[in-house]
Amino acid sequence: MTRLTIYAARWILPIDAPPVSSGEVVVEDGRIAAIRPRQTPANQCRDFGDAVLMPGLINAHTHLELSVLRGFLEDVPFFPWIRALTAAKANLTPEDWLESARLGAMECIRGGITTVGDNTDAGVTMRVLAESGMRGTVYQELFGIDDREPVAPILAALNEKIAVHRRLESGRVRVGVSPHALYTIRPALFAALRDYLQAEQLPTSIHVAESPSESRLIEQGAGEFAEMFARRGITWQSPHLTPTKYANSMGALTPQSLAIHCVHQTLEDTAQLAASGAAIIHCPKSNAKLGAGVAPLARWLRTDGLRVGLGTDSAVSNNSQDLWEEMRFALLLQRAVAEEVEVVTAAQVLRLATLGGAEAMGLADRTGSLTPGKRADLIAVRLNSSHIFPATDPYTALVYSARADDVLLTVCDGEVLYDEGEWRTLNASSVYAEVKAGRSRLIP
Ligand SMILES: [Zn+2]
pLDDT in tens, 38-58: 999 999 999 999 999 999 999
In the reported structure, the alpha carbon of residue 283 is separated from the centroid of ligand 1 by a whole-number distance in angstroms of: 9
Strands ordered across the beta sheet of 204-208: 57-62, 113-120, 135-142, 173-179, 204-208, 257-261, 279-282, 308-310
In the reported structure, the alpha carbon of residue 372 is separated from the centroid of ligand 1 by a whole-number distance in angstroms of: 33
In the reported structure, the alpha carbon of residue 294 is separated from the centroid of ligand 1 by a whole-number distance in angstroms of: 16
Q: Residue range 118-144: average pLDDT?
A: 97
In the reported structure, the alpha carbon of residue 317 is separated from the centroid of ligand 1 by a whole-number distance in angstroms of: 9
In the reported structure, the alpha carbon of residue 260 is separated from the centroid of ligand 1 by a whole-number distance in angstroms of: 7
In the reported structure, the alpha carbon of residue 289 is separated from the centroid of ligand 1 by a whole-number distance in angstroms of: 13
In the reported structure, the alpha carbon of residue 57 is separated from the centroid of ligand 1 by a whole-number distance in angstroms of: 18
Dist. CA 354–CA 56, nearest whole Å: 7
User: pLDDT, tens digit, for every residue of 207-246?
Assistant: 999 999 999 999 999 999 999 999 999 999 999 999 999 9
In the reported structure, the alpha carbon of residue 263 is separated from the centroid of ligand 1 by a whole-number distance in angstroms of: 13
Query: What angle is formed at CA 84 by the lines to CA 81 and CA 86, rounded to 5 degrees?
Result: 105
In the reported structure, the alpha carbon of residue 62 is separated from the centroid of ligand 1 by a whole-number distance in angstroms of: 6
Contact at 8 Å (CB) between 320 and 334? no
pLDDT band at 385 (very low <50, low <70, confident <90, very high): very high
pLDDT band at 269 (very low <50, low <70, confident <90, very high): very high
Residue 11's H or E segment, with its range, is: strand 4-12
Of the candidate ranges 82-91, 192-201, 344-353, 425-434, the one whose mean pLDDT is the lowest: 82-91
Instruction: Write down all domains in the chain, each with its CATH number in brackets.
Output: 4-55+368-428 (2.30.40.10), 59-360 (3.20.20.140)
pLDDT in the model for residue 172: 98
pLDDT band at 444 (very low <50, low <70, confident <90, very high): low
Q: Residue range 418-443: average pLDDT?
A: 95
Task: Tell whether the model's pLDDT for residue 127 goes beyond 90.
Answer: yes
pLDDT in the model for residue 215: 97
In the reported structure, the alpha carbon of residue 369 is separated from the centroid of ligand 1 by a whole-number distance in angstroms of: 25
Q: Residue range 272-290: average pLDDT?
A: 97
Q: Residue range 291-303: average pLDDT?
A: 96
Task: Tell whether the model's pLDDT for residue 443 goes beyond 80.
Answer: no
In the reported structure, the alpha carbon of residue 207 is separated from the centroid of ligand 1 by a whole-number distance in angstroms of: 6
In the reported structure, the alpha carbon of residue 370 is separated from the centroid of ligand 1 by a whole-number distance in angstroms of: 28
In the reported structure, the alpha carbon of residue 230 is separated from the centroid of ligand 1 by a whole-number distance in angstroms of: 25
Dist. CA 120–CA 189, nearest whole Å: 19
Q: Provide the pairing of β-strand 173-179 with 415-419.
A: unpaired
Dist. CA 423–CA 410, nearest whole Å: 9
User: pLDDT, tens digit, for every residue of 338-370?
Assistant: 999 999 999 999 999 999 999 999 999 999 999
In the reported structure, the alpha carbon of residue 193 is separated from the centroid of ligand 1 by a whole-number distance in angstroms of: 20
In the reported structure, the alpha carbon of residue 133 is separated from the centroid of ligand 1 by a whole-number distance in angstroms of: 22
244-265 b/e (C-beta count within 10 Å ≥ 16 → b): bbbbbebbbbeebbbbbbbbbb
Extended beta strands in 128-200, E state: 135-142, 173-179
pLDDT in the model for residue 329: 98
User: How large a percentage of the chain has pLDDT more than 70?
Assistant: 99
In the reported structure, the alpha carbon of residue 5 is separated from the centroid of ligand 1 by a whole-number distance in angstroms of: 37
pTM given for the model: 0.97
Q: In sequence order, which residues have a C-beta less than 8 Å from that of residue 380 and are 6 or more positions away?
A: 7, 9, 48, 51, 52, 53, 407, 408, 409
Dist. CA 215–CA 413, nearest whole Å: 41
In the reported structure, the alpha carbon of residue 364 is separated from the centroid of ligand 1 by a whole-number distance in angstroms of: 22
In the reported structure, the alpha carbon of residue 122 is separated from the centroid of ligand 1 by a whole-number distance in angstroms of: 14
Residue 433 CB coordination number (10 Å): 12
| Residue 28 β-bridge partners | 4, 31
Task: Tell whether the model's pLDDT for residue 78 goes beyond 70.
Answer: no
In the reported structure, the alpha carbon of residue 316 is separated from the centroid of ligand 1 by a whole-number distance in angstroms of: 10
pLDDT in the model for residue 197: 96
In the reported structure, the alpha carbon of residue 237 is separated from the centroid of ligand 1 by a whole-number distance in angstroms of: 25
Dist. CA 200–CA 45, nearest whole Å: 45
Return mean pLDDT, the chain: 96
User: pLDDT, tens digit, for every residue of 236-259?
Assistant: 999 999 999 999 999 999 999 999
In the reported structure, the alpha carbon of residue 63 is separated from the centroid of ligand 1 by a whole-number distance in angstroms of: 6
pLDDT in the model for residue 76: 79
26-58 b/e (C-beta count within 10 Å ≥ 16 → b): bbbebbbbebeebeeeeeebbbbeebbbbbbbb
Task: Tell whether the model's pLDDT for residue 324 goes beyond 90.
Answer: yes
pLDDT band at 270 (very low <50, low <70, confident <90, very high): very high
In the reported structure, the alpha carbon of residue 429 is separated from the centroid of ligand 1 by a whole-number distance in angstroms of: 28
